[in-house]
A = this chain, B = another copy of it.
Amino acid sequence: MKLATLRTGGNSTTAALAMGADAYLPLPAPDVGALLSDPEWRNAVEAIAAAASDADVVHASAAELAPLLPQAGKVICCGLNYSDHIREMGRELPEFPTLFAKYADTLTGAADAIEVHGSSKVDWEAELAVVVGLPLFRADEDQARHAIAGYTVANDVSMRDWQNRTLQWFQGKAFDATTPVGPVMVTTDDADGDFDVRGYVNGELVQSGNTSTLVFSPARLLSYISQFTVLRPGDLVLTGTPGGVGMGMKPPRFLNDGDVLTTEIDGIGRLENSVRIHQNDAGAAVRTPVTATSTKE
C-alpha cells in the first residue's frame, strides 16, 4: 500500500495510491500520521478501497502533495550511517548513531519549491526515511522492526554555512520547509529490505548508495532512539545519506538558485524540488510575523 498526504484547499487529507499509481483515493484522516494513529487503519483503508468507485478518486495529475507528515511530533535524523562512505572518508565505523532533531516545520512536499533565505551553501542529502507505525519506548530491535509502518524518501537539505557556525548542526538542518518528504509512504508489506537511494542535481547523478551498507539499520535506529524518548505513529526517522554530498566535493559544490534537486528510491518514489535561494537583504531580514495558525509562510 502507498499512502500520501494531499493538499485540499487550506487543509489536507491522506490518500491511498490506487489504480496503478494514476490516482489517489482520499481517506478520512488529515494526513498519514493521523491515519496511522488509528490502530485499525489497515482494515479501515481496505474497507474504503473495496467500496470505492472511479468517482471517488483524484487523478494524480490533479493532486498536490503536502509534506507526508505535516504534524510529525518528532523528526529525528542520523548522520554518518553509510559504511562505504565512512570508509572512503578514512573514518572508523561509529559505535553509536549520531542523532539530531528537526521539527515538522522543516518538512515540505515532494514537488514543492525549496525556498532558502540567507544561506549561500545549500547542500543535498538524499535519504531513506522510516515512518513509525506503533508507539515504541525502550524497545528491542524486533519490537522496533514490527513498529515500522513503512518507508519514504527525504532529502535532508542542509545549509552548510549555518550548520558549521557552531559545533551543533541543528540550525543548518532546521530551516523551515527545506526537507522534502514523500511522495508516498510504502508499507513494509509492499517494500522492505534494501533500497537504492539516489540524488540528482539538474538531472546529473550526484549520490548513489544502497541501504544494505547502513551501519545502523532502520530497526536498530528506532530501538536506539526509543531508549531515551518515546516514538509514536507518524514520527519520522531519517537514516543518513550516502557519499556524494556537495560539501565533500573538490572543490565543494552547492545548489544555485533555480537548480532542480531530484531524490529517488526504487520501489518508493521520487522527490523533485526546484531550489530558490534568496540572499538576505534589508527587505528579507525583517518580515511581518506570521499568524498563529500558519505553519509556514
Residue in B37, B74, B290 whose beta carbon sits within 8 Å of that of A292 in the complex: B37
B287 touches A99 (CB 8 A): no
Bound-state CA distance A39–B165 (Å) is 35
The answer to whether the Cβ of A118 comes within 8 Å of any Cβ in the partner chain is: yes
Within 8 A of B (CB), among A99-123: 99-103, 105-106, 117-118
Kindly report how many copies of this chain are found in the complex they form together.
Answer: 2
The answer to whether the Cβ of A26 comes within 8 Å of any Cβ in the partner chain is: no
- Interface SS of A by simple majority: loop
A42 to chain B, nearest CB (A): 15
Which residue of chain B is the closest to A284 with respect to CB atoms? B138
| A interface size (C-beta, 8 A) | 60
B168 touches A136 (CB 8 A): no
Given A118-B227, A143-B286, A170-B101, answer yes or no on A135-B175 (Cβ-Cβ < 8 Å). Answer: no
Bound-state CA distance A135–B137 (Å) is 33
Residue in B79, B103, B159 whose beta carbon sits within 8 Å of that of A168 in the complex: B79
The answer to whether the Cβ of A166 comes within 8 Å of any Cβ in the partner chain is: yes
Residue in B39, B102, B286, B295 whose beta carbon sits within 8 Å of that of A140 in the complex: B286
The answer to whether the Cβ of A90 comes within 8 Å of any Cβ in the partner chain is: no
B292 touches A39 (CB 8 A): yes
Stretch of A199-207, A229-237, A244-252 on the interface side = A229-237
Bound-state CA distance A102–B139 (Å) is 21
A286 touches B230 (CB 8 A): no
Residue in B79, B138, B290 whose beta carbon sits within 8 Å of that of A117 in the complex: B138
As a 0/1 sequence over residues 280 to 297 of chain A, the CB contacts with chain B under 8 angstroms (1 = contact) are 000011110111101111
B105 touches A290 (CB 8 A): no
Bound-state CA distance A94–B171 (Å) is 15
The answer to whether the Cβ of A259 comes within 8 Å of any Cβ in the partner chain is: no
The answer to whether the Cβ of A21 comes within 8 Å of any Cβ in the partner chain is: no
Bound-state CA distance A101–B76 (Å) is 10
Bound-state CA distance A213–B284 (Å) is 30
B286 touches A171 (CB 8 A): no
A137 touches B297 (CB 8 A): yes
Which residue of chain B is the closest to A233 with respect to CB atoms? B292
A71 to chain B, nearest CB (A): 10
A1 to chain B, nearest CB (A): 20
The answer to whether the Cβ of A97 comes within 8 Å of any Cβ in the partner chain is: yes
Interface hub of A102, A159, A174 (most chain B Cβ within 10 A): A174
Given A228-B162, A230-B296, answer yes or no on A168-B100 (Cβ-Cβ < 8 Å). Answer: yes
Enumerate chain A interface residues (CB-CB to B < 8 A). 37, 39, 73-74, 76, 79, 94-103, 105-106, 117-118, 134-140, 143, 147, 159, 162, 165-171, 174-176, 225, 227-230, 232-233, 284-287, 289-292, 294-297
